[in-house]
């Protein structure tokens, strides 16, 4: 059962929509959300009753610090509230079907955020629920993180058109969302991974298709030095994501040449930003010397999850 199409206006184009992928929003819509994020961060008191009476269901199938805190605090700062639902409460697809969960929640809350493993769970929930669904992380994408990441870059660099953004490490969900948002915004982005750990082909093909329309330059390379050379931003993430713990030792050996350390980051611009979605495995994908340096903006980036997600919830939920 699909949602009924809703009329859109210039001011409320995102109302009632889902945010499951960066690709769900147009370039103009992403820019509008980034502008709203800046406004909310600068003037939070202006928005403290914007979603008064609204309730979010927060579904967590994976552990969380930043996602749980930022969504819980964010909806409260907008005047709404939230209810936390864990595997013990739902056990999606086992205790209750995704369809049944969607049909129950749409009658009790105004929006759903889900942090889960399979992206199909997220899309199925959105298909069956008549209320907005936000992807708080799946194995395929991390779109809220990408919005906060780009906002963080803009706070320091102001324009994306002349920048080189580089992601070095595993071609995972974070890399997928970053490459899509870079393509949407016309940015140059290099993705450096070992040959067997590239981003999914379908994601890269979609990013390249978008780039052909926006003027973005999207490049995959196996060479971390090529990616880091003259970069304005160097980004990395854990080499073994949640659910890949059994592969951790093997991955450490494969990814060792991709560690972001002083030697690698020396190829970037002097004012390079170092970014990481956290949690970081210090001494593995990044050294203390880099993550604790003056170039590191990882905690500002983490804080910006709060502001970016407030903007997303506000646009999707407000009347």
Active-site position among 119, 142, 176, 276: 142
Which residue shows structure tokens 């991390």? 142
Q: List 113's β-bridge partners, or say none.
A: 58, 134
Choose, from 139, 144, 206, 277, the residue flagged as catalytic.
277
Q: Please report the DSSP string for 1-37 in residue order.
A: -PPPP----STTTTTT--BSSGGGS-HHHHHHHHHHH
Respond yes or no: is residue 142 known to be catalytic. Answer: yes
- Up-side HSE of residue 137: CA atoms within 13 Å toward CB? 22
To the query of whether residue 122 is one of the catalytic residues in this protein, the response is no
200 catalytic per annotation: no
Secondary element (H or E) of residue 76: helix 66-77
Catalytic residue selected from 237, 276, 307, 309 = 237
CA distance 64 to 138: 12
Active-site residue, 282 included: no
* Catalytic (active site) residue 89: no
Catalytic residue among 17, 66, 122, 145: 145
State the SS3 of 252-311.
Answer: HHHHHHHCECHHHHCCCCCCCEEEECCCCCECCCECHHHHCCCCECHHHHHHHHHHHHHH
Let me know if 176 is a catalytic residue: no
Which entry of 17, 115, 128, 276 is annotated as an active-site residue? Answer: 115
CA distance 298 to 130: 35
Active site residues: 115, 142, 145, 237, 277, 305
């Amino acid at each position: 059962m699909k949602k009924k199409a809703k009329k859109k206006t210039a001011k409320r184009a995102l109302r009632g929509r889902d945010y499951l992928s960066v690709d769900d929003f147009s370039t103009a819509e992403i820019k509008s959300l980034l502008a709203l994020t800046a406004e909310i961060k600068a003037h939070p008191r202006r928005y403290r009753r914007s979603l008064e009476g609204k309730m979010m269901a927060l579904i967590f199938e994976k552990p969380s610090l930043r996602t749980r805190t930022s969504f819980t605090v964010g909806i409260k700062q907008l005047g709404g509230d939230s209810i936390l639902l864990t595997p013990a409460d739902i056990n999606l697809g086992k205790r209750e079907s995704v369809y049944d969960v969607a049909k129950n929640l749409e009658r009790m809350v105004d929006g759903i955020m889900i942090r889960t493993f399979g992206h199909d769970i997220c899309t199925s929930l959105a298909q069956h629920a008549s209320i907005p669904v936000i992807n708080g992380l799946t194995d395929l994408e991390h779109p809220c993180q990408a919005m906060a990441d780009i906002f963080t870059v803009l706070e320091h660099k102001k324009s994306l058109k002349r920048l080189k953004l580089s992601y070095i490490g595993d071609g995972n969900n974070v890399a997928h969302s970053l490459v899509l948002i870079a393509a949407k915004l016309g940015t140059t982005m290099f993705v450096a991974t070992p040959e067997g750990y590239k981003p999914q082909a379908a994601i890269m093909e979609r990013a390249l298709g978008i780039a052909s329309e926006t003027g973005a330059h999207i490049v995959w390379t196996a060479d971390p030095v090529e990616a880091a050379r003259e970069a304005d931003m160097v980004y990395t993430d854990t080499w073994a994501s949640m659910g890949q713990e059994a592969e951790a030792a093997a991955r450490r050996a494969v990814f060792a040449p991709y560690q972001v350390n002083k030697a690698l980051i020396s190829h970037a611009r002097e004012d390079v930003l170092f970014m990481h979605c956290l949690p970081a495995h210090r001494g593995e994908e990044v050294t203390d010397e880099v993550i604790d340096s003056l170039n590191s903006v990882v905690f500002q980036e983490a804080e910006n999850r709060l502001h970016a997600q407030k903007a997303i919830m506000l646009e999707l939920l407000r009347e």
